[in-house]
A and B are shown apart, each in its own frame.
Chain A
Amino acid sequence: MTRVVQRAPAPWVALVVVAAALGGCGRGAGQVPAPTPRVVSLVPAASAIIDALGAKAHLVGVTRYCAVTGPPVIGGMDARPEAVLAQDPDLVVLGDYPSQAALREQLTALGLNAVAPSFVGIDDLRAAVTRLGAALGREAAAAALVAALDRDLALAKERAASRRPVKVLLVYDVQQGYVYTTGGGDHLGALLDLCGARNIAQGGPLTTRLALDAVLARGPELILHVAPGEAYPDDAAARAYWKSLPEVPAVRAGHVYVWPDDHLAQNGPWIGAAALQLSDLLDRVAGAP
């Protein structure tokens, strides 16, 4: 016959219980609890969309690259599954990026609802806004956001019709005599197309590497650094770099600029406004009234 011996709980069990109780108290202490659904966003553009939908209170975890302030930062875009799990989310938003594919599988295996919309093109942006709006019960706000985006894009397209095409070089970075730019196929390529500009690196991969001699040969009329960086924080810094190549039409004419924030580089809810600002810049370069 087997004897069942009941022993007193080990001291570590008591410690775990106390820690869990304290942790549970900590979440609510001094904070307004997040409404349902609780969302963790591991994509800066998704966080911005949720914010633009007026649903920031749903965010219970964001990355350190997200511009949204307030929600806890739980890591980078490759946050640990444990950190996501600790936020007890109803929905986790990732991007359809190869670098996040494994994380998405892990989170799904842990029983979390992880979605991964694409954020590459402008159509993707519309779809992501609609999807997130539906998930958060903000369908009307999402529809309004998409309508505003389409209105701005249509206006930019209309303005392009009365302007000659401008040859543009978009710059992510310059190093070792090479420019890193977009080859089209993303929202930047779509924006240039819509605004009637010609991307001099069109046809390359998403991140295209061009030698400076190729830049010289293709003669861009506008050089636009898509976001301020450490090396090129503003127009003056970018012009100081490019001044060694005055043979490039954009440099000769002084049309070298740095976009003042990351609202052009990131495919977020601000893209409609960015398209109009880009149109202003192209008007200036083309000499349009």
Chain B
Amino acid sequence: MRARPALTPRRLWLWLAAGAVFAVGAAVLALFLGMPELDLGTALSDASSWQYAALHKLQLPRISQGLVVGATLAASGAALQGLLRNPLADPFILGVSGGAALGSAAVTLVGFGTALVAPLGGFLGAMGALLVVTALATEAGRIAPLRMLLIGVVFNALAGAGLMVLQALADPGAVQLTLMRLMGSVGADPSEPLLLPILTVASGVGLVAMLLSARGLNLLALGDDTARSLGVSPDRLRLVLFVVISVAVGATVAVTGLIGFVGLIVPHAVRLVVGPDHRLVLPLSALVGAGFVVVADASVSALAPALGTELPVGVVTALVGGPLFLALLRHRPTRVAE
């Protein structure tokens, strides 16, 4: 097998430029694909037209949200796979998704589900999950990665059971709407202008922390002892990254629901192309993930006239991501597993 060239600054920037072109291209494509009836000339020049409002209040915030969410989920997946040394780790595996879903559904189904309260409930649920899972996975001041993974899986299952209890007690109409919310949707709500900035800050902090941890993640791949001997504290790195990733992913799930497969498929595809170096995998996954979610979201809008309704984007990422992941495993089983 031919060895990959070492990561030089030139190679790094070339790949990042390619990733940025992909993300920006996806955003531009989404503008036209997502709303074909939009006349860009009118939308840019006539502030009194509905097209202006559609572009500035709805389309641009929606695309921005897609970029932020995609970048967060993909980079989180890449970081967690490195952190837990497990190729199946994804942003939802640590119980954050279950906590967020339960929190969001609880406030919605008991009747407090206004536009802002539901995301807040989701975020609190995610943070509650983080606290419980971290506390249970900590032994003698150290986080045990495998234990954390298992506790996360169990916590998600328990949260699923709690969700079912709520659904059994709630009004069928409210249940249907809650399920739609959890399926994962990117969408702009001009009545809640603070949601996107809050999401961007939470995700931005997480992304910066992940990018700064790239070298540490590379060393962690060599084993805890080696990493320690080279000046990286595995426990501290894990704790910091678990917290920032959980906050970022919790904010994402609270606003958009569960958009699956982005954190799994994108890092694997990126690693397959550029190799395992986190200094490149993390930022490139963020850029590719951003573009992937935006294109997936634009495709649900483009399909809406034919279907008569807009599918949640989480359905599309799962429908595309699932078979794609299987295809990757089938063609390159060893390298994907790596």
Contacts and interface: CB of A to CB of B under 8 A. Distances in A.
Interface of A: 65, 76-78, 99, 172-178, 180, 183, 201, 203-205, 207-214, 216-217, 219, 230-231, 240-245, 247-248
A216 B53 contact: yes
A204 B58 contact: no
A213 B115 contact: no
A102 to B, nearest CB: 15
Contacts of B185: 176-178
B13 interface: no
Nearest to B59: A213
A253 to B, nearest CB: 14
A205 B176 CA distance: 14
Nearest to B50: A247
A207 B308 CA distance: 10
B115 A203 contact: no
Contact of B176 (A207, A217, A230, A241): A207
A208 B62 CA distance: 20
A247 B120 CA distance: 29
7 contacts: A175-B177, A204-B307, A214-B310, A230-B112, A243-B191, A244-B57, A247-B49
Nearest to A181: B309
Q: Which 5 A-B pairs have the closest CB atoms?
A: A177-B187, A204-B308, A244-B190, A247-B53, A230-B111
Contacts of B312: 209
A242 B189 CA distance: 10
Contacts of B189: 175-177, 212
A209 B114 contact: no
Given A175-B115, A212-B188, 18 more contacts: A78-B168, A176-B257, A177-B58, A177-B185, A177-B187, A177-B188, A178-B187, A209-B309, A209-B310, A210-B309, A211-B62, A216-B50, A217-B35, A219-B50, A241-B115, A244-B190, A245-B53, A247-B52
Contacts of B304: 210-211, 214
B316 interface: no
A14 B304 CA distance: 66
A204 to B, nearest CB: 3
Interface residues of B, number: 45
A230 to B, nearest CB: 4
B172 A77 contact: yes
Contacts of B191: 240-244
Contacts, number: 114
Contacts of A77: 172
Contacts of A208: 308-309
Query: Main secondary structure on chain B at its contact with chain A?
Result: helix
A173 B190 contact: no
Interface in B246-266: 255-257
Interface string B277-309: 000000000000000000000000100100111
Contacts of B255: 176
Contacts of B181: 175-176
A180 B312 CA distance: 12
A199 to B, nearest CB: 11
Nearest to B300: A211
Nearest to B37: A217
A77 B173 CA distance: 12
Interface in B189-209: 189-191, 193
Contacts of B52: 247
Contact of B35 (A180, A213, A230): A213
Contacts of B37: 217
Nearest to B308: A204
A209 B53 contact: no
A231 B114 contact: yes
B32 to A, nearest CB: 13
B157 interface: no
A242 B35 CA distance: 21
Given A99-B172, A211-B58, A203 B187 contact: no
Given A175-B115, A230-B112, A231-B114, A204 B50 contact: no
B125 to A, nearest CB: 16
B329 interface: no
Nearest to A205: B309
A203 B304 CA distance: 11
A216 B187 CA distance: 14
A230 B118 CA distance: 12
Contacts of B112: 230
A172 B54 CA distance: 22
Nearest to A175: B181
Contacts of B114: 230-231
B301 A211 contact: yes
Given A176-B256, A217-B50, A230-B113, A183 B308 contact: yes
A288 B289 CA distance: 53
Interface string B160-174: 000000001101110
B324 interface: no
